[in-house]
Amino acid sequence: MADRLQVLVCLSNPRGLLLVNEILTREGFAVTTASTLGKFEDAMRLGGFRAIVTATEAIGAIREIMRLSVVNIRASIRGWVDAQTGDRSCLFDRAAFVAGLRSATGSGLVGPGTSR
């Protein structure tokens, strides 16, 4: 696990947390998860993280705790409206998400939603 990029994922949505963990693990990242800011603070004590994945509403609080690159997962969610039915839907762009994370960790491939 030492040669894999260490990422801390902090999402309050349990399903989102599980899916992001699965995606990143498949992509070769070493993933630690936290569902609350308290658990995030506990995980930060482990150290060694290269980036943090979270959602828009948690970025400010996370920035107060630690100064690592942050990837906003919401930047990889594409919404649209079906022109015929008016139904709203969304799609998670996995490729853009992983590219943004690789960019944030300095491992190549530029993507959306990253800040340092």
The per-residue pLDDT for range 31-52, each reduced to its tens digit, is 999 999 999 999 999 888 999 9
| Closest among 34, 14, 16, 3 to 97, alpha carbons compared | 16
Phi, psi of 52 (to 5 degrees): -125, 135
pTM, full prediction: 0.80
* Calpha distance 32→21 (Å, rounded): 8
For position 47, what pLDDT does the model report?
Answer: 86
Banded pLDDT at 102 (limits 50, 70, 90): very high
For position 24, what pLDDT does the model report?
Answer: 96
| Closest among 55, 95, 57, 93 to 76, alpha carbons compared | 93
pLDDT tens digits along 2-24: 578 899 999 999 999 999 999 99
Q: What does the angle CA 52 – CA 99 – CA 106 come to, to the nearest 5 degrees?
A: 60
The pair of three-digit structure tokens given for residue 21, joined into one six-digit string: 């963990």
